[in-house]
A and B are shown apart, each in its own frame.
Chain A
């Protein structure tokens, strides 16, 4: 792939739009189809696309393994943290009504952060699966040498 200039240029052009589309799916999830899971998958797809064209090592430089693993955990913490925030503000667990003065606004705020958590974890898990499968032979040969 290294010599294929058309693919490389096209990838560079498309990837920002893929990420843009992901954020549209993420933030428009309140009003239409979409949400954290779908957006997370699209973000992961953008990085996987990058890895396919520019090679796994450069993708791992852009989104390192440590970051991916941290993201998996941070997303879950964010989701569970929203629940705890509901507890601390005097409601039940995952109670969004108490997150703002206006209950409807509270629901909005709660779902926003929860979906953010979902997007972070889903994109990271998708990437982790890709890294593990794509890097399998490479890592094994590195261990052997």
Chain B
């Protein structure tokens, strides 16, 4: 009986956990509830993915009102796969929060922090699972509002400004999205995404569809932080608490990328988006710019958290490059990189959180001699860095390999060169950390610090280990990404 309710339970479990945490108020019980809820979401997401891969589309009618009248949750391999990524990251991050949050957030705000984490998780999963365009917007707002609060909880006062900046940009993005939905609703008379996808082809390709496509693409691109709409991201990641940086870097932008894919391939369809106009070329140009410009900016950062943030903008470029190829191979590469980059960047932010806890800051200069004072953390960070570069044996290599193969299958040989070149830029910014951490003497006035506490180190190391694991054995992640790409390209039939 429970099996048929998995789609809604995935969203409701964290949604129920949030008010429960507010009622509990104490730090420890809040953390226990939050951790239990995130473990439960993973326990729900995994069988859901299995079900979606083996049985195809799962439809769930909220309130037993049959779609397209009522709100429908529609699960296929694509959104179930991203839901697994999001809940997996949640399971890594929540155990980490106990010590990490104690160090960074005021103790009377702990329960609010956990409640916001749960709302954010619930919002992200809701965006993924819902089959209703307006419901998607509501969940987008739930997760975004929770995110703004989480960022503002950072210790640094600049966190407030960063959060406000993100609030403005995020609200503009959400507004543009709603305008696009309004246009589509006027045209098709439905908000159900599958119904909309079925009705749009009969409309031909009028100006209104083009306007809706433009509004939705720009609105969602703001949430993705696609270059040049990424300006909110570096500050938001740099000043938020470490656990939040890790969680957001691994999930928030990824979920928005899924939304863009869903609209491009399932709702509007490839003919409208790619064949009839230059969307593919524009997206390709922006992706290439994203692969190079923020990577160069990352090289000149003096703060390690900001460096990672700019590297994220650059890595998003690889994912959108995969989308711009508009082939199943390209989508597979994009989805595989979504998974691999979530593990890599999430893991690196978690390792960095432990380092920051000991050093008291994330300025690169402070990392001098880290290879000697915190050997395990420094080594884990370097492994993560290798995965960012795409060294064979790490997860980053697998997705870049898919990307290069997909580009070559399209006859775009020069793109392979571009991917290589941009990886070289990643070598430079990762090398900056290596040089400072391993080839400089630790400062004398430095208090001997030792490794980060185990509760921080273990989740971080597990995530970095996963990043090596999925680099050596990509059969699961690869086949899931493939199934997800086929589901996206095949549409909701």
A-side residues, CB < 8 A to B, are: 69-70, 72-74, 76-77, 80, 83-84, 86-87, 90-97
Whether B64 lies near A80 (C-beta < 8 A) is: no
Q: Given the complex, which residues of A lie within 8 Å of B20, measured CB to CB?
A: 73, 77
Docked Cα-Cα span, A73 to B16, in Å, equals 9
**Chain B proximity of A69: nearest CB distance (Å):** 6
**Chain A proximity of B72: nearest CB distance (Å):** 11
Whether A80 lies near B15 (C-beta < 8 A) is: yes
Whether B64 lies near A72 (C-beta < 8 A) is: no
Whether B19 lies near A74 (C-beta < 8 A) is: yes
Q: Given the complex, which residues of B lie within 8 Å of A70, measured CB to CB?
A: 22-23
Docked Cα-Cα span, A93 to B62, in Å, equals 6
Residue of B nearest to A87 (CB): B5
**Chain B proximity of A22: nearest CB distance (Å):** 22
**Chain B proximity of A92: nearest CB distance (Å):** 5
Docked Cα-Cα span, A128 to B452, in Å, equals 39
Whether A94 lies near B63 (C-beta < 8 A) is: yes
B-side residues, CB < 8 A to A, are: 1, 5, 8, 12, 15-16, 18-20, 22-23, 60-64
Docked Cα-Cα span, A97 to B1, in Å, equals 18
**Chain B proximity of A87: nearest CB distance (Å):** 6
Give 5 nearest A-B pairs by CB, closest first. Answer: A73-B19, A73-B22, A94-B63, A93-B8, A95-B64
Whether B22 lies near A69 (C-beta < 8 A) is: yes
Q: Given the complex, which residues of A lie within 8 Å of B64, measured CB to CB?
A: 91-92, 95, 97
Residue of B nearest to A69 (CB): B22
**Chain B proximity of A94: nearest CB distance (Å):** 4
**Chain A proximity of B391: nearest CB distance (Å):** 46
Docked Cα-Cα span, A92 to B61, in Å, equals 7
Residue of A nearest to B11 (CB): A93
Q: Given the complex, which residues of B lie within 8 Å of A69, measured CB to CB?
A: 22
Contacting residue for B12 out of A73, A80, A91, CB 8 A: A80
- Sample of 9 A–B contacts (CB below 8 Å): A76-B19, A77-B20, A83-B8, A87-B5, A91-B64, A92-B61, A93-B5, A93-B63, A95-B64
Whether A84 lies near B12 (C-beta < 8 A) is: yes
Whether B60 lies near A80 (C-beta < 8 A) is: no
Q: Choose among A74, A76, A93 the residue with the greatest number of B CB atoms under 10 Å from its CB.
A: A93
